[in-house]
Amino acid sequence: MTAHIIDGKALSTQLRTEVAARAVTLRAKSGVTPGLAVILVGDNQASQVYVRNKVKACEEVGFHSVLEKYDAAMTEAELLARVEALNNDPSIHGILVQLPLPKHIDDHKVIETISPAKDVDGFHVASAGALMVGEVGFKACTPYGCMKMLESIGMKDLRGKHAVVIGRSNIVGKPMAMMLLAANATVTITHSGTADLGAMTRQADVVVAAVGKRNVLTADMVKPGAVVIDVGMNRDDAGKLCGDVDYDGVKEVAGWITPVPGGVGPMTITMLLVNTMESAERAAG
């Protein structure tokens, strides 16, 4: 058996088309154009690529985008002041501060300064709390994209299913687990150092690998027919992009699998657009 591929690129294109149509409708109905502000502090090369892709994605769906770049010497107080100004700007519906920030700036303090109504990255403690109790809030973009991928293969309701999340970070692991719980799955959170990890993953109907470590999940660790979502982003010995999953081996056992590249990656920015769209619609009433 060879696994079916969950094509994140195709699903992303579909969702972005829907977002663009919603943006047109919102402008026609209320005169509001969804606006996203992205703040980049410092000269991290990977961050520069990420923010360029986010701004480009905004433009492609008809959003208003603002990219603010600052020197790494920017003080924490100056950054917090900019975030507060954007909180009060009615043309901005989403605020994203690109991480990592320079070491002298407290990431948590900056994230918590963003208004929960504009926290389209889904990192604010209020967003996490809303997710836990089933209230309206923004979902963290990468796990939200993973859930959309599961939904695309008919797995919106995971009642009776066992899901294992490998990786317990606040950015992916824990929000992923909460979203799976909200979809009625039984969830186990593990990490790459969990004793006999394979004994847990072999019981799982859904495995989400989000560690940032090559080959953390191999074919012998997967239940036949399981769904495998690979969130990892690594390089192999030849410098080629790869995930956390031994793709060639696991695809011969799993029922569904996401590739790297072309899987979860395109979905992350797409869900940022979805969150910004929802924020604009709420603001417009």
Q: Quick one: CA dihedral 167, 170, 172, 176, positive or negative?
A: positive
Exactly one of 43, 89, 109, 121 is catalytic; name it.
121
54 included as an active-site residue: yes
Write down the catalytic residue from 7, 9, 69, 98.
Answer: 98
Q: Would you call 203 a catalytic residue per the annotation?
A: no
Matching residue, tokens 């967003």 = 127
Among 7, 9, 45, 54, the active-site one is: 54
Residue 161 designated active-site: no
22: enclosing H helix or E strand:
helix 8-30
Exposed e or buried b per residue across 11-48, where buried means at least 16 C-beta atoms within 10 angstroms of its C-beta: bbeebbeebbebbeebeeeeebebbbbbbbbbebeebe
Residue count of the chain: 285
Cα gap 261→151, rounded to integer Å: 20
Q: Is 272 helix (H, G, I), strand (E, B) or coil?
A: helix
DSSP E strands, 126-246: 162-166, 186-190, 206-209, 227-230, 234-235, 241-242
Distances (CA, A) of 216 to 44, 147, 231, 258: 27, 21, 12, 15
- Tally of CA atoms within 13 A in the half-sphere of 19 that contains its CB: 28
Distance of CA 170 to the CA centre of its chain: 12
Q: Which residues are catalytic?
A: 54, 98, 121
